[in-house]
A and B are shown apart, each in its own frame.
Chain A
């Protein structure tokens, strides 16, 4: 008649000894060798503590409807300006030429965040005025939500110079985030939510591009307007304005941040435990071999023996 296994359970062998024996020292050494080296292996193989991480988020950008425009209209220093800052316009007096500005922000994928700014500026010009250079500053409100709730005022700087007098300038580019340091993983961050141009100032120094750019480039977080393909068209017809057409896209950004404590611990634990499992297995076999073969003398408390005695 065939015999079938109907149940199985492991047998536990207990090895006992006093404290000051070789076996105790061996077990203690095994304990150290099991738990300490995985830390060293995990740590020394680099990347144990996740110091920074990235995530992707499309920023919530809105055009603040603030503009500062500078056109060089001759090669000898004549220029025209216009801005939405009334104090600046007051300072410039006869150099101000009020353009026809049209802007709209598109949300093409209907996710509630604007994806691009379409802007057209038509600067009226006399036929004798030729445009050689354009400096255009557009100001934006920039918000991030997923990790740190980040808000700042940022700027798109468009600059183009040509030795040929222009009729229009068409640019399309991205408003890219520029980070010097990682952002925090949580909390509100309004460090850079300050005006780039002090529009309340009645002094010309507040509108000096050198100081504006100097302080803006010193920010830990700022934006660049990146455009690689500006088209500068020449041959302006009589009575025609100089037209700047700009498309500023707000792309999804990869944002660097410092992970929080629990994220740090979690990733460290995952690495440690995966190496520890190997050590646990190896040293378990070593200890079983040593004690099973009584290489180190111990008192064996075996359940089978008990069974026999009993």
Chain B
């Protein structure tokens, strides 16, 4: 409350000052602004035209700081604020708005190129340059008013939806239709679509397209075309559209869509499965056509032949001939009837077949059964006809009677001979399948007089062994069989008994039982004392004991289920889970953890709900490309992928079209990309914006082959970096209308173009809905092979793609023009551990803190090689002690001027600390100075030592010794924080102080041993003496590593300075010494025993009081002492 008062006062003061400033300068002229739009009309500042309208207009109007009218003529000139590839580009004409008019005007512009929406800023000038006075109303620097937005839309196109169109292949058919799609619905005037073949030659298919006229509001239509020479080579066809009646929506010149290839529909036929086996008297397989038969009947003729082995079968099956082969019958033993193949025909198609049998519903089957070829082995086996809407037939071969086993490999070839088929599509098409037959000879057995042994399905009843001797003959092990040497076996005949040499006495094995410790006869080691005292004598008599019951077999499903259900195990391998990805939560609201859903168009053109999948890392870092994005769960993944020519194609994970695509994109008009659903399980989709960036140097995403030896060269010095990395450019194609290109291999340069390197999704949400999806995709051209710099060898490029998903709140105010950027807080109230420390600098007006962020106080973050040249900076995070640093490589020469070295290191170290203030909590108020703590930095008081000027001899001692003192090699940041409160069991921690200091150290070259620095004095002097460049190189070369470090220490201090305590009472360790401290004298009723749980403490105390009451009662009643 107290801290708020100064802030309010400050604001009041500023407001007062502002009002005074406005009223206290009456001599100043009323400055005017130029605004885009029409006064009082919302949205009038947004202009969108087609590129076909070569020029357009944008309204402007003048306003003044004090309401007034223009008294001077104003020249208005407008410009585009964004100058990047992919954005709309126009040129504006300057206009003059005369004084005394309506103060409005219209600026004309001419279209240069279409693209994304750009911001337009108009400025005014009411005096020629150089003649401005203080009464000039409009000046370029002060007249910027409300901006406008302008977009030049790309001209719409017309095109086919599939890249391959099949020309029908049927007798007598020379006309067909094909679907054409427009990228924009027709407005105002109807549109005529004209298609022509691009590369027709004399030998190609000749196509003639009828022009198609599309009405207003339509987007698709069917173009009729007629064709001749259907057997010719394929041709490419593209379409153009032209608006009629003077409309400008479609122009022939700009509306050419992607070309599609027209080719003859050559039918195909195959057997599924094409390899099978049989041990029965028949074999069956499916004959599948590529499409349903349209009008004619397709008749197949089949032939069978024997093949030697599977290799031969494969060769023959791959090139099935349409001529019936002569040797059809498997080799059979003399006197046997060869296998006969009968009863071909069609049966009901298998609904589980993988063929596209969508029309397999009713149509009658015209099965054409041929006479059984009993004696003509070289005739076709069967004729099979497929008619109506069927595309699936069944070939079933039934063998005739035979008397010897048929074990053979047989090949069946079916073809549609030209003679018996009128449909040219399947004429001459053939397929083959191989089967191995393993049919054994039927054997005859007369079982009428067979003796029935045993009674199946009748349980054997075992008598209770307590009363009946169940094993009168223990050696009788086999039923209905005489056991050898078993004299008591009643199945043994006298002859058997006669040849037995001896009789087995008793049972096999003897009666071995486990010796338990409580038995008197126990001799197995350790025995408890009482076991010996009261040991158990036992008698293993079979009579009058306890016996297991003999359960009967369960023979019915009902009995089985009863028995199983009553005793079902809690856990088993029985599969109860579903195998398809289905989300069980059907809530309409997106909640934390639910799957983000998309709407996509399936192969049949119907929309389906699916999941937004995105690469994620699982287990121990493996990349899962089909991971599902969960609501509110941000993820980051890095997927390494060895680049391969097969990946550089459409549909791979390198293809930008496999990720979210811009919903505004219309070129080409189809297919429709998946859209994110705004509601979980809903039907509405959210707009998707995608920005594509093209990286000219994708080395960040390619595993480099530089080794440490390439960097840590023994004679190469290295100090600090002096350049900053460049920024990315937007891709040239990315105008908001065009879909991204798929990766394409370039064989000449051996690169793969348009490879996805980085994808970042930002899903905006508000309430329980998603409101938008934004994607940022980085593309690049990647070389397929990387050259190792060391030995020049080539290896496959290893690509590391990066993926990230995050969710951002879509603020209702975000659409306002001056919406403030949402910045991450580091906790509220106080700091959260692990969040960045917020810093800032005092602004010049001295009453607020600016440059708020984490960049003012940083630590070193070493790059991949650990050298300071590649090191970057990392933010300091609250509550985490840290140390980091980088390496500099110095040679003798660097030690010649210690002042220069010192100042260089100091400058680098001090660049880590640019802030003056650190925020007390994670949510500071920039205007409230009490929210900030000044960083104590005594070092800034000392001026940075200047390097020794040229011409002045450096310190002699420095030169001689090869060492430099007082190098500020370690930066130490000490932060004090305190617990200032508690909210919902979470501590509120605030920074109460911060100090930066530098530890100076001595850097000294080690002058002996291999790879130690060369300490030979001034190299330039020595080089002069030796006048040999090799010596000079060697001397300047050998370097030694030194380290620059930065560390952070967080120290907790008490919020209040504690009152001093006498040493006797001080218990800093907070323990009960010897478990015998006075605080724990009554331990059972102490809070300590209750573990801080008040309920348990109450329970303990109550029990103790009850116990005391009992004791007192006993004493009162018994009165032992009075």
Tell me if B865 counts as interface (CB < 8 A to partner A). Answer: yes
Task: Name B's A-contacting residues (CB within 8 A).
Answer: 620-623, 638-640, 700-708, 711-712, 798, 800, 802, 833, 859-866, 874, 877, 879-887, 1006, 1011, 1040-1041, 1043, 1045, 1050, 1069-1075
Q: Check if A238 sits within 8 Å of B1075, measured CB to CB.
A: no
A240: CB under 8 A from chain B? yes
Q: A284 on the interface (CB 8 Å rule)?
A: no
**Within the complex, what minimum Cβ distance (angstroms) separates A265 from chain B?**
15
**Cα of A96 to Cα of B874 in the assembled complex, Å:** 20
A237 touches which of B640, B711, B886 (Cβ 8 Å): B640
Please tell me which one of the listed residues B620, B702, B1073 contacts residue A145 in the complex, with CB atoms under 8 A apart: B1073
Residue of A whose beta carbon sits closest to that of B866: A97
Contact B621 A103 (CB under 8 A): no
Given the contacts A100-B862, A124-B863, A235 and B623 also touching, CB distance less than 8 Å = yes
Contact A96 B705 (CB under 8 A): no
Instruction: Tell me the bound Cα distance from A125 to B712 in angstroms.
Output: 13
6 contacts between A and B (CB under 8 A): A98-B885, A103-B880, A103-B881, A145-B1069, A146-B1072, A238-B701
Question: Do A57 and B859 contact each other (CB < 8 Å), given the known contacts A98-B866, A98-B885, A124-B864?
Answer: no
Contact B884–A145 (Cβ < 8 Å) = no
B1070 and A127 form a contact (CB under 8 A):
no
The reply to whether A104 and B880 contact each other, CB–CB distance below 8 Å, is yes
- The smallest beta-carbon distance between A242 and chain B, in angstroms, is 10
Residue A174 at the chain B interface, CB threshold 8 Å = no
Contact of A232 among B620, B874, B880 (CB under 8 A): B620
Interface assignment of A78: CB less than 8 Å from any CB of chain B: yes
Give chain B residues whose Cβ lies under 8 Å from the Cβ of A125: 864
Partner of A146, one of B620, B798, B877, B1075: B1075
Q: How far is the CA of A231 from the CA of B885 in the complex (A)?
A: 27
The contact of A127 among B704, B860, B877, by CB within 8 Å, is B704
| Bound form: Cα–Cα A185–B885 in Å | 46
Min CB distance A93 to B, Å, is 5
Is A84 interfacial (CB-CB < 8 Å)? Answer: yes
- Asked whether, in the complex, the Cβ of B887 is within 8 Å of the Cβ of A104, the reply is no
* B1071 and A57 form a contact (CB under 8 A): yes
Query: Residues of A contacting B884 with CB < 8 Å?
Result: 98-101
Select one of A78, A104, A167, A238 contacting B703, CB under 8 A.
A238
Is B620 within 8 A of A96, CB to CB?
no
A98 with B1045, Cβ < 8 A, contacts A111-B1070, A128-B704 known = yes
A254 within 8 A of B: no
Q: Once the chains bind, are A239 and B1070 in contact (CB under 8 Å)?
A: no
Residues of B within 8 A of A93 (CB): 1011, 1040-1041
Q: Mark A177-220, 1 if CB is under 8 A from B, else 0.
A: 00000000110000000000000000000000000000000000
Interchain nearest-CB distance for A6 vs B (Å): 13
Q: Which residues of B contact A127 (CB under 8 A)?
A: 703-706, 864
Which residues from chain B contact A101 at a C-beta distance below 8 Å?
882-884
Known interface pairs A128-B706, A231-B620, A233-B620; A97-B887 also in contact (CB < 8 Å): yes
Q: A98-B862, A126-B708 are in contact. Are A60 and B1069 (CB under 8 A)?
A: yes
- Which A residues between 229 and 250 are near B, CB-CB below 8 angstroms? 231-241
**B863 surroundings in chain A (CB, below 8 A):** 124, 239
B620 touches A239 (CB 8 A): no
Task: Determine whether the beta carbon of A126 is less than 8 Å from that of B1075.
Answer: no
Give the number of residues in A that approach B within 8 Å (Cβ atoms).
Answer: 50
Contact A237/B802 with A55-B1075, A128-B707 known, Cβ cut-off 8 Å: yes
A145 vs B1067: C-alpha distance when bound (angstroms) = 11
Given A97-B887, A239-B800; 14 other pairs, CB 8 A cutoff = A55-B1075, A57-B1071, A94-B1011, A98-B862, A98-B1043, A99-B862, A100-B859, A103-B882, A127-B703, A127-B864, A128-B708, A146-B1071, A235-B622, A235-B639
- Known A-B contacts A93-B1011, A237-B802, A238-B704; the reply to A104 vs B1050 at CB < 8 A is yes
Contacts of B1069 on A, CB cut-off 8 Å? 60, 143, 145
Residues of B contacting A233 in the complex (Cβ-Cβ under 8 angstroms): 620-621
Q: How far is the CB of B1040 from chain A (nearest CB, A)?
A: 6
With a 10 A CB-CB cut-off, give which of B623, B800, B866 has the most chain A CB atoms.
Answer: B866
B-contacting residues, A100-114, CB 8 Å: 100-104, 111-113
Q: How far is the CA of A112 from the CA of B1070 in the complex (A)?
A: 8
Docked CA distance A69–B307 (Å): 69
When distances are taken between beta carbons in the complex, the residues of chain B under 8 Å from A238 are 700-704, 798, 800
A167 to B639, CA, bound (A): 12
Q: How far is the CA of A167 from the CA of B862 in the complex (A)?
A: 17
Q: Which residue of B lies closest to A185 (CB)?
A: B1074
Determine whether the beta carbon of B704 is less than 8 Å from that of A146. Answer: no
Q: A104-B1050, A233-B620 are in contact. Are A96 and B887 (CB under 8 A)?
A: yes
* A271 CB within 8 Å of chain B: no
CB closest residue in chain B, given A170: B620
Do B638 and A240 have beta carbons less than 8 Å apart? yes
B862 nearest in chain A by CB position: A124
CB distance from B702 to the nearest CB of A (A): 6
Provide the residues of chain B in CB contact with A253, threshold 8 Å.
none
- Which residues of chain B are near A145, meaning CB under 8 Å? 1069, 1071, 1073
A-B pairs, top 6 by smallest CB distance, nearest first, are A233-B621, A237-B638, A98-B885, A100-B884, A237-B800, A97-B866
A102/B708 contact (C-beta < 8 A), A93-B1040, A237-B638 known = no
In the assembled complex, how far is the CB of residue A5 from the closest CB belonging to chain B, in whole angstroms?
14
CB B586 to nearest CB in A, in angstroms, measures: 35
**A263–B1075 Cα gap in the complex (Å)?**
12
Complex Cα–Cα for A240 and B700 (A):
10
From A65, which residue of chain B is reached at the shortest CB distance?
B881
- The smallest beta-carbon distance between A12 and chain B, in angstroms, is 19
In the complex, the answer to whether B704 meets A124 with C-beta atoms within 8 Å is: no
Complex-state Cα separation, A122 to B861, whole angstroms: 9
Q: Is the CB of A102 within 8 A of B1074?
A: no
Instruction: Indicate whether A97 sits within 8 Å of B1071 (C-beta atoms), given known contacts A103-B882, A233-B620, A234-B620.
Output: no
Looking at B700, B701, B705, B884, the one whose CB has the most chain A CB atoms below 10 A away is B884
In Å, the complex CA distance between A116 and B97 comes to 74
Residues of A within 8 A of B1075 (CB): 55, 146-147
The smallest beta-carbon distance between B792 and chain A, in angstroms, is 15
Please measure, in the bound complex, the distance between the C-alpha atom of A235 and the C-alpha atom of B877, giving whole angstroms.
27
Q: Which residue of A lies closest to B876 (CB)?
A: A102
- Are the CB atoms of B700 and A239 closer together than 8 Å? yes
Distance to closest chain B CB from A18 (angstroms): 38
Nearest CB of A to B1103, in Å = 23
**In the complex, which residues of chain A have a beta carbon less than 8 angstroms from the beta carbon of B705?**
127-128
Interface string of A24-35 (1 = CB under 8 A from B): 000000000000
Q: Determine how close the nearest CB of chain A comes to the CB of B482; give it in whole angstroms.
A: 62
> How many Å lie between the Cα of A89 and that of B702 in the bound state?
31
In whole angstroms, what is the CA distance A240 to B1072 when docked? 49
In the assembled complex, the Cα of A103 lies from the Cα of B880 at a distance in Å of 5
By beta carbon, the residue of chain B nearest A239 is: B864
Interchain CA distance A65-B864 in the complex, whole Å: 24
- Least CB distance, A288 to chain B, in whole angstroms: 22
Shortest distance in angstroms between A130's beta carbon and chain B's nearest beta carbon?
11
CA distance A177 to B712 in the complex (A): 42
Q: Please report the C-alpha to C-alpha distance between residue A204 and residue B1074 in the assembled complex, in whole angstroms.
A: 44
Q: State the CA gap A235–B833 with chains docked (Å).
A: 29
> What are the residues of chain A within 8 A of B881 when measuring CB–CB?
65, 102-104
Chain A nearest CB: distance from B1111 CB in Å? 21
Contact A102 to B623, CB < 8 A, known contacts A96-B1043, A127-B706, A237-B802: no
Central interface residue in B703, B864, B1072, by most chain A CB within 10 Å: B864
A135 in contact (CB, < 8 A): no
- Alpha-carbon gap, A308 to B685, bound state (A): 120
Query: CA–CA, A100 to B864, complex, Å?
Result: 12
**Would you give the shortest CB distance from A115 to chain B, in whole angstroms?**
14
Give A123-137 as 1s and 0s: 1 = Cβ < 8 Å from B's Cβ atoms.
011111100000000
CA distance in complex: A167, B640 (Å): 11
Q: When the two chains form their complex, are residues A102 and B882 in contact, meaning their CB atoms are under 8 A apart?
A: yes
How close is B229's CB to chain A, nearest CB, in angstroms? Answer: 55
Most B CB contacts (10 A, CB to CB) among A93, A118, A236, A240 go to A93
